[in-house]
Amino acid sequence: MLKKQKTAVIIGAGPAGLTTAYELVTRSKIKPVIIERTNRFGGLATTIDYKGYKLDIGGHRFFTKSDRVMDWWLEKLPLETSKGNKVKIVYQNKAKILVNKQLGAISKEPNDVMLVRRRKSRIYYNGKLFDYPLKLNLNTIRQLGIFISIKIGFSYIQSVLFPRKENNLEDFFINRFGEELYRIFFKTYTEKVWGKTCKELSAEWGAQRIKGLSISKVIMASIFGKSRETSLVEKFLYPKYGPGQLWNKVAKQVIKEGGKVDFNTSVKSIQITGNMVKNISVINRNGKEKSLSGDYFFSTMAISELVERLAPKPSKEIISIAQGLEYRDFIVVGILLNKLRNKVDDNWIYIHDPSVKVGRIQIFNNWSPFLIKDPDKVWIGMEYFCNFGDAFWKKTDKEIIETAKDEFSKIGFADKTDFLDATVVRMPKAYPAYTGTYKDFSKLRAYLDKIDNLYLIGRNGMHKYNNQDHSMLTAMVAVDNILSERKDKSNIWAVNTEEDYHEIK
């Protein structure tokens, strides 16, 4: 008697969901069925095409310290390089030893490639542009002024002599940078991103994203400069036509190998029997409902939404924790310009000006010239952090575009006469926050981990502020567990817990 083919139902076609599906079709006989509520692949890492101008939502630098992820990327999109031009990826491993990894085969297909791009971001503060990450060099001191620079020095000494107990993110920043530098270069932008004061935010956010950075390391880097080796902290890989290019290619391979994708389909309910998911009920945009059974279930949907759909319902405590998890939503305004007042070669500019709402500006020309239909034009993304349903989110697209135009002109990057066209892209639940009921998250995790065939992966699936490579690794490890028949899921949650793992963002 032939064994019945096993099926994995995957909720979400973002990096974690598609990585899961690809790993299953290439490493096992398990058939993946992907449920995606939008009509595109890639999740937050999709690429939006607007009249031939491509928009990368939030910006996705392809940087990782994982050999497994790097090899995975380069297998799909090999490096574009000229003949005889050898490029090496250099990064730090856990022991902080520089390691050279020769890149994979050079692509024979001119479009399906990764570009090597120079990383450059700066901070806009008080009408001036400062290096990011910050460098405490003569140029910075000259721009800040000697008086403020002295205040920065004394406030840092005070933080070293009298460190604070780290009860919140403000304490975390001040202990590492001093109060004056925190006020100038961390407070405004962080509060724009999260919509809360730094006193309201957990110090865990800093431990997750800032890692080992401190003013002492900033000073050392400023004095001794960069390593002579090329580092992907200074350079990164980027798909020729944006991150969606990679995920569309992965999805095509998944479908070719027998995987299935249902677009415009949402999860209505998840039926639990004992400690197993029995089936899930889904509904498409036409209102047609169907039930999907499977052997394994992977979820990248927001945990708050997942728990809401469980049947039977969990305890009131679990429901309360799930409902109390908080998120930050995201709007990017793509703006086409004739020109900028001054040419900039930045990928991002962080706006530390409290008089405008915009948090960050992308210059897509500097991510990849192939994102731009007309190379003589400038294509930018104005990034706004907000909450679903708040006053800014409720604005019409036309109103948001006018706000973006006004703010871009106000901070002096372009004249209004240079604006040609614009579009608005909204992304709910872009950033899971370590606020609300997150302090009780361990109880929620313990409850969900007991559902043996349910695997939480990815940024929203785990409510972890992961980068793309970490989301992929959670998917890879989850598939590893299935193929090795490991039931304990702690290794999935352990992805990205090392303090020195992250690229400085």
Instruction: For 175-234, write each residue's pLDDT tens digit.
Output: 988 999 999 988 999 999 999 999 988 887 766 556 555 555 555 454 445 543 334 457
Is residue 70 located within the same domain as residue 204?
A: no
User: Is 265 part of any domain?
Assistant: no
Under 8 Å CB-to-CB from 85, ≥6 apart: which residues?
none
Domain count, the chain: 2
Decide if 185 contacts 143 (C-beta within 8 A).
Answer: no
pLDDT of residue 58: 83
Domain that holds residue 175: 121-224
Planar angle of CA 126, 355, 411, nearest 5 degrees:
55
User: Is 125 part of any domain?
Assistant: yes
Locate the DSSP E strands across 17-77: 31-35, 47-50, 53-56
pLDDT of residue 214: 57
Alpha-carbon distance of 359 to 357, in angstroms, equals 6
Is residue 204 located within the same domain as residue 75?
A: no
For the segment 327-348, the average pLDDT, to the nearest whole number, is 95
Q: Is the per-residue pLDDT at 107 higher than 80?
A: no
Compute CA distances 170 → 187, 196, 228, 329, 502, whole Å. Answer: 8, 11, 35, 22, 21
Is residue 77 located within the same domain as residue 210?
A: no
Kind of pairing between the strands at 98-102 and 88-92: antiparallel
Is residue 236 located within the same domain as residue 95?
A: yes
Phi first, then psi: what are they for 421, rounded to 5°?
Answer: -165, 165
Tokens of 455: 């695997």
Decide if 103 contacts 89 (C-beta within 8 A).
Answer: yes
Is residue 84 located within the same domain as residue 218?
A: no
Is residue 206 located within the same domain as residue 175?
A: yes
User: Is 492 part of any domain?
Assistant: no
Compute CA distances 117 → 86, 347, 367, whole Å. Answer: 15, 10, 7
Lowest mean pLDDT among 57-66, 104-113, 444-453, 488-497: 104-113
Tokens of 448: 């969900």
Structural element, H or E, at residue 20: helix 15-27
Is residue 69 located within the same domain as residue 109?
A: yes
Decide if 46 contacts 244 (C-beta within 8 A).
Answer: yes
Is residue 132 located within the same domain as residue 212?
A: yes
User: Is 442 part of any domain?
Assistant: no
Is residue 141 located within the same domain as residue 210?
A: yes
For the segment 12-37, the average pLDDT, to the nearest whole number, is 98
Alpha-carbon distance of 292 to 306, in angstroms, equals 16
Is residue 195 located within the same domain as residue 140?
A: yes
CA atoms 381, 387, 388, 394: torsion sign: negative
pLDDT digits (tens, 9 = 90+) for 135-173: 777 888 889 999 998 999 899 999 999 999 999 999 999
Is residue 136 located within the same domain as residue 218?
A: yes
Neighbour-count burial for 135-151, b at 16+ CB within 10 Å, e otherwise:
bbeeebeebbeeeebeb
